[in-house]
Amino acid sequence: MKIYNTMSKSKEDFIPLEEGKVKMYVCGPTVYNYIHIGNARPMIVFDTVRRYFEYKGYDVNFVSNFTDVDDKIIKKANEEGVTADEISKRYIAECKKDMEGMNIEPATKNPLATEEIGGMIDMISTLIEKGYAYEKNGTVYYRTRKFADYGKLSHKNLDDLQSGGRALLVTGEDEKEDPLDFVLWKPKKEGEPAWQSPWGEGRPGWHIECSEMSKKYLGEQIDIHAGGEDLIFPHHENEIAQSEAANGKPFAKYWMHNGFLNIDNRKMSKSLGNFFTVREISEKYDLQVLRFFMLSAHYRSPLNFSAELMEAAGNGLDRIVTAAGNLKFLMENAGAEKMTEAEEELFAQTDRFKENFEKAMDDDFNTADAIAAIFDFVKFINTNTDGNSSKEYLEKLHDRLVTLADVLGIIVDREEEMLDEEIEALIEERQAARKNRDFARADQIRADLLAKGIVLEDTREGVKWRRA
């Protein structure tokens, strides 16, 4: 298995720190509002990475935090006249609802920054003792130049950063020893949550939060650290500086970053009016369609979101779901139980789809090619099954389709939905109308049902329906 490592700018063979185990940390959202579809991409991508490791038999310790103390959270709390804790708890709950809708597996641990302050204070104290940090008037800064390897992830040169101007720097330049130093601890401001520390009341800087939470729940060295490419600098660069200076050993073996998400070929922003939350998307589309769309391109590629592309993703997903539904329908009506010799030979041919799927995923989690392998498998299923197929053969095809789709977090077996009495009566009336050759009435009923979101399909096995 090969992973593209941002640190080396190349694909590397995946060799875990501990055989059979993967320790993985993914930076989670800051919870001050509903998550947007830009947040959704790393959630879906790295959930899929985790699922593939599990499919390959690895024991995955998957940690993803919630940043529950932040300027944006405090601002929202002040606007609503509530506590920052109330805002963060509300939106953590809402985020988890959206994650469930996108079929994202619960993390091994979702640490909250506010519950790990003590560990952050200890790490900052260690950095001060080692000479990597210093305090000025209640603010603690990290000595960026003291860390010799600073810039090794983002491939930025410190002198270039220095000449880059104030836009690249953080606040409080006047008190710093060097303009490039960044904040580890900030003093309390009026109306803000704060914690006691050796440097007075205050709260941690953003970067130190992930360094401490990763260390506590995964150890001083981890296999994979992941997030959006916007986090490479300064967040992940600063995490490396903090963690390696404090712990005295390499932090993460592999750094994975997903590409940006654009909306109709433009960067998503509230000012452009193209800012969408996952909750808003769920009102127009099944979130399984959003997941399928996100995986339709390689995770490192920029991805463009549009209504047309979502429509195409919905159609693609429907092909897979329909194939699974047809298999289940045939299974329920199969006459023969055991596979014939010809069916055994046919099923053996499906190994190539599984092999192509794994080959794609082994190559830096190429989900686009993995989906193509599933489409090839679906075509095979549709061509090589019918009412004469044995139950065992159909079940084996179904199980293989479910297994491969599950690696991508795609649910192919949809729960049966009960039709209400009115719609059931309309379907029965349509059947009677067709029998009586009253095709005008039959067509009218089909149109009425479509208006109610019910699509009828007349198949050789009988009438089937699905939600539009």
**pLDDT value of position 169:** 46
- Can you tell me the distance from the alpha carbon of 180 to that of 182, in angstroms, rounded to the nearest whole number? 6
Say whether pLDDT at 172 is over 80. Answer: no
Residue at 6 is within a domain: no
Say whether pLDDT at 226 is over 50. Answer: yes
Last residue of a domain, one of 247, 281, 315: 281
CB 44 within 8 A of CB 99: no
Mean of all residue pLDDT scores within the chain: 92
- pLDDT bin (cut points 50, 70, 90) of residue 173 is low
Residue at 302 is within a domain: no
Same domain for 229 and 89: yes
Same domain for 450 and 374: no
What is the value of pTM for the model shown?
Answer: 0.88
Q: What is the CATH number of the domain that holds 382?
A: 1.20.120.640
Same domain for 445 and 382: no
Tokens found for residue 190: 């009026």
Same domain for 258 and 194: yes
Q: Identify the DSSP state of 235.
A: I
Same domain for 389 and 429: no
**pLDDT value of position 163:** 57
Say whether pLDDT at 392 is over 90. Answer: yes
Please give the residue that has the higher pLDDT: either 371 or 449. Answer: 371
Same domain for 211 and 109: yes
Please count the structural domains in the chain: 3
**pLDDT value of position 229:** 97
**pLDDT value of position 415:** 63
Q: Give the SS3 label for residue 364.
A: coil
Sign of CA dihedral 195, 199, 203, 206: negative
Reference 6, options 231, 303, 243, 238; nearest CA is: 231
Average pLDDT over residues 30-38: 95
Least confident piece of the model among 64-68, 148-152, 261-265? 261-265
Tokens found for residue 248: 């005295």
pLDDT digits (tens, 9 = 90+) for 84-96: 999 999 999 999 9
Q: CA of 56: how far to CAs of 60, 70, 354, 364, 403, in Å?
A: 11, 38, 13, 14, 12
Q: Which domain holds residue 191?
A: 16-281
Q: CA of 461: how far to CAs of 123, 331, 379, 390, 458, in Å?
A: 66, 12, 19, 15, 8
Same domain for 256 and 395: no
Residue at 346 is within a domain: yes
Please give the residue that has the higher pLDDT: either 419 or 33. Answer: 33
pLDDT digits (tens, 9 = 90+) for 292-350: 999 999 999 999 999 999 999 999 999 999 999 999 999 999 989 999 999 999 999 99
Average pLDDT over residues 85-113: 96
**pLDDT value of position 268:** 81
Same domain for 336 and 245: no
**pLDDT value of position 166:** 42
Same domain for 383 and 259: no
Same domain for 214 and 93: yes
Please give the residue that has the higher pLDDT: either 440 or 14. Answer: 14
Residue at 436 is within a domain: yes
Residue at 4 is within a domain: no
Q: Identify the DSSP state of 233.
A: I
**pLDDT value of position 456:** 81
**pLDDT value of position 423:** 78
Residue 42: asked if its preceding bond is cis (omega within 30°), the reply is no
Residue at 321 is within a domain: yes
pLDDT digits (tens, 9 = 90+) for 420-429: 677 778 888 8
Same domain for 401 and 425: no
Same domain for 181 and 33: yes
